[in-house]
Amino acid sequence: MYLGRIVEYVAADELFANPKHPYTKALLAAAPIPDPVIERARPRSIIKGELPSPLNPPAGCVFNPRCPLMTAECKQAVPATRELGPGHFVACIHA
């Protein structure tokens, strides 16, 4: 969920194994790994930009101001939630 909108919906095992939305991927990448050697060595993925106001969300996809995949199309309309696989729903035109 991002700014009050569900961006990806799937069973937990599938979400961790195969995230599709850029925000989901960023959240999972931010979770610490309990092995300090692996944790220090892994690359960092930081979401750039400021969190938009939930009272005045951006046009189109609410994640577009911070999304690394953002295109002009992302600003046009709120993406429909699509089923990419059995029970795996994503609200992203690039997923």
Extract the runs of DSSP E, i.e. beta strands, from 3-77.
8-9
pLDDT single digits (tens) 24-75: 999 998 889 899 999 889 887 788 888 899 999 999 999 999 999 999 999 9
Domain boundaries, the chain: 8-90
Whether 61 and 91 have beta carbons less than 8 Å apart is answered as yes
C-alpha to C-alpha distances, 6 to 10, 74, 75, nearest whole angstrom = 11, 16, 17
Check residue 46 and give its pLDDT: 81
Report pTM: 0.87
Check residue 15 and give its pLDDT: 96
Please give the biggest Cα pair distance in the chain: 43
Q: Rounded to whole angstroms, how far apart are CA atoms 63 and 70?
A: 9
Check residue 10 and give its pLDDT: 97
